[in-house]
């Protein structure tokens, strides 16, 4: 699956762990500093990558939802480009933040919260989303409605 991983720079360490876990599952994961090409306008590349992604993973922290955070731009692009949030958006709560401060689009599906390993929880959730997507494709291919 093509996955866009959106996170605030202050949360880079946990994002790196999630990135590794998803790569180990065989996913194609966009990870900003490693995937942005030198000499290209990053805004354009980020927009195109989000639009082509199967899943948008949004890591929620006080830094990610802070006014002026670039992650809010990424979330807005995802909201405009995804046909639906269900099965295409995975909001992950890294640390508790007031629910009313979480962007509406991120709250349009159930937030992933884990008392244990966040990278393991994200990898498991992505695996379940992928299985559900595959079942839907098989169902459609065999003539299901």
Which helix (H) or strand (E) element contains residue 93? strand 89-93
For 22-35, the pLDDT digits (tens) are 999 999 999 876 65
- Among residues 87, 74, 20, the alpha carbon closest in space to that of 48 is found at 74
Per-residue pLDDT, averaged over 54-69, amounts to 96
- pTM for the full model? 0.90
Report DSSP state, residue 111.
Answer: P
């Amino acid at each position: 699956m093509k996955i866009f991983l959106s996170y605030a720079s202050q949360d880079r360490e946990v994002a790196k762990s999630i990135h590794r876990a998803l790569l180990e599952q065989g996913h194609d994961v966009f990870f900003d500093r490693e995937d942005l090409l030198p000499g290209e306008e990053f805004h354009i590349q980020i927009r195109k990558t989000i639009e082509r992604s199967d899943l948008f993973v949004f890591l929620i922290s006080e830094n990610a939802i802070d006014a002026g955070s670039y992650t809010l731009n990424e979330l807005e692009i995802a909201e405009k480009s995804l046909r639906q949030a269900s099965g295409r958006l995975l909001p992950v709560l890294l640390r508790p933040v007031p629910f009313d401060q979480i962007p509406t689009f991120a709250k349009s599906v159930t937030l992933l919260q884990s008392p244990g390993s966040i990278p393991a929880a994200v990898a498991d959730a992505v695996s379940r989303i992928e299985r559900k997507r595959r079942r839907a494709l098989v169902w459609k291919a065999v003539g299901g409605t």
